[in-house]
Amino acid sequence: MPIEYVKLGRTGTKVSNICLGTDNYGNQWGCDEPTAHEILGTALDGGINFVDTSDSYNEGRSESMIGNYLHDSGRRDSVVLATKYRSAVGPGVNDAGASRYHIVRAVEESLRRLRTDRIDLLYCHSWDADTPVEETLRAVDDLIHQGKVVYAGASNFPTWVLAKGLWTSDVRNLYRFEAIQSVFNILQPGLGREMVPFAADHDVAVIPYSPLASGMLTGQHGSAGKAVAGSKFDMRDDSKGGGLKARYFNDATFTAVEKFTAIAEKHGQPAIRLALQWVSEFPGVTSPIFGARKVEHITGVLEAWSESAPPEVMAEVRAVAEEFEAQAPMAYPPNSGQAFGTLPSSSTAK
């Protein structure tokens, strides 16, 4: 599926149909700044114009690395740049959340680190039940009027909260959420049940992350329940409480991955291509986000994305996905704004 440019929801802005994620920039398991710059340059040279980060990624280092590259290379205006607020960025009681107090400060800090005069797409990283959605929207609306933000987005919201936000924007005449972002892949299909159709019906862009299930769909972890050294399932996952292993290391997932990778091998198709294409072809999806912490990761994705798998191959992939969802569905949204859910056993699945 070659690089194409699609509308960001109902807006007139065009983004590439694949987005570069940067949560690995600046941590000990990710990449250093020179490598990050090389990845960014390779992505932009390959036609990607959509870059995603957050103020909470590695204490702001991801934003800083991106800002330095775009400023020094003179390529800022070639990119639709997305970042986020809401997650904790310090120890203070107001160093997290979606209040006006936090948003205004968070945006100023992001602008400084990104070395830019505007944020093209500003997501609320997860729903803040303590803050009225009108307060959040009015704060972002003010920032849009000031020229510091172009569009507002939401991430990991329940569908009813996004609906409430759209209604609030309508009746209060506020700029609305133009995009929704959350986890979505063959092994985490919950977003597609209600949120994607709802978003499509309201012309909200859908920007899924983790289309490769953090690498699980490459088949590299086998079925032994042992993480490959150096992968996201290894020490990084242990440092975060083992959420990836809890989410993906189970019999239903191992079986689905085995069937999925067998299809890739049978047809001589890269597993990366099939996983990305399944997400991208899901009706209503705008642009899936993939991460890269090595230059070979971004070159591998661009190579896989340069062609599409035939319809008959994708029909086999969809059959595996549908079988898996029927046996072990994932609830949406992910708990606490994080993509860490536990699949129910097949005996309790409905």
Residues marked active site are found at 57
At residue 330, φ and ψ (nearest 5 deg) are -105, 135
Q: CA geometry: angle at 340 spanning 336 and 342, to 5°? A: 115
Residue 176 neighbours by CB under 8 Å, 6+ apart: 137, 152, 165, 166, 169, 170
Residue 156 contacts residue 126 (beta carbons within 8 Å): yes
- The tokens for 49 are 């114009």
The one-character DSSP state at 215 is G
Q: Does a cis peptide bond (omega within 30 degrees of 0) precede residue 333?
A: yes
Length of the chain: 350
Exposure class string for 263-284: b at 16+ Cβ within 10 A, else e: bbeeeebbbbbbbbbbbbebeb
Tell me which residue of 28, 115, 19, 20 sits closest to 63, measured CA to CA.
115
